[in-house]
Amino acid sequence: MALTERTLLGPGPSNPYPEATAGLAAPLLGHLDPEFIAVLERTCDHLRSAWGTANPVTLPLSGTGSIGMEAAFANTVRPGDVVVVAVNGLFGVRMCEVAARYGAEVVRVDHPWGDPVDTERVLAAHPSPALVAAVHAETSTGARSDIAGLGAALREHSPQSLLLADCVTSLGGIEVAVDEWGVDIAYSGTQKCLGVAPGLAPFTFSERAWERRVEIPPVWYLDLGLLGGYVRGGPSGRAYHHTAPVAMVASLDAALARLHEEGLDAVQERHQAAGRRLQDGLQEMGLELFAAEGHRLPQLTSVRVPEGVDSAKVREQLLTEYGIEIGAGVGDYAASVWRIGLMGHNARLDRAELILAALRRVLGR
């Protein structure tokens, strides 16, 4: 039953930090154990630092990254609400679908895949939407959008609109500053730059989003009113909602402690340096990067498959001969783009050199 060891350089999961793996295998605590409550509180505090927020409602939701998106819309959208969604990749498309399930009147602003979100076009789509949603780091394309700029412009354009940012692939890898940027709702996943296995969705919700939240959202499991009672306590103490995934939380706690020890700035510089080396090396090899120049994520690089090369065959060869996983493209780009992640524990120069060397061999360059 022993599993093969892989170097996970796709769009996630990435190889966890050793501390995160140790946290998973640590002795299990009950979800109401005072020691576990301390672990959870420390995790939430460390998440607040990582998000750059003072939001009391900041917690890891009990599901993979997508549950963060679900919770975001379930707790904010009432039937008929206008929700403007910036779409520049798969996760923008998905936000439209999820928002629509909660009855939103979705105004979709499409961009070419690989481009960043265009603030002016997004704001021009509606004078006063209930919610504006955009993806900070598009996992499907490797493009980075300027959420700070979108937030600032939105405050001018329509101060009462809430701003939602998908930070699944950004948190723990590049700067995220929820409070400074004016983001009201944000979610992430543990399996990308945070360097933990998939299974939790770090989530943060501003006070003004809290005041305007849906009182009884359709989804009981993601009802922030009930979850908030577990995380913040309430008049009658800490209310049991559901059994927390204690091993996953212990793992996230261990990874966040490590990130804070290394320093969030140092972690971001490490992602930056590894990504730059990879992108330089790919271009030196004569390959063409996919995401728009100036808007490329260091932690996730999209690169065009060279003419005449069988995309899937290369990925298979990397996997079977080198034990390295990289990702295919998405949608129209499934066969013409690769996605290479250097996230979390893999955001290192040696991993960049490894995938460059392996690709050189496989492509004969």
Summarize as ranges the residues that interact with a second copy (CB under 8 A): 1-6, 8, 10, 12-13, 15-16, 21-22, 24-31, 33, 35, 39, 62-67, 69-70, 74, 94, 97-98, 101-102, 189, 191, 197-199, 216-221, 241-248, 250, 253-254, 257, 319, 325
Phi and psi dihedrals of 283, rounded to 5?
-70, -35
Cα separations (Å) of 135 from 37, 116, 128, 168, 351? 32, 9, 20, 8, 26
Give the residue with the Cβ less far from a second copy, 117 or 318.
Answer: 318
What sign has the CA pseudo-torsion 200, 206, 210, 216? negative
**349-363 and 311-322 helices cross at what angle (nearest 10)?**
120
Cα(40)–Cα(52) distance, integer angstroms: 18
Give the residue with the Cβ less far from a second copy, 39 or 154.
Answer: 39
What number of CA atoms fall less than 13 Å from residue 158's CA on the CB side? 20
Give the residue with the Cβ less far from a second copy, 213 or 295.
Answer: 213
Q: How far is the CB of 206 from a second copy (least distance, A)?
A: 23
**364 backbone φψ class: left, alpha, beta (φ>0; ψ -120 to 50):** left
Give the residue with the Cβ less far from a second copy, 83 or 150.
Answer: 83
The annotation status of 339 as a binding-site residue, yes or no, is: yes
Cα(174)–Cα(158) distance, integer angstroms: 27
Give the residue with the Cβ less far from a second copy, 8 or 132.
Answer: 8
Q: Which residues are annotated as a binding site for substrate?
A: 339
Q: Which residues are annotated as a binding site?
A: 339
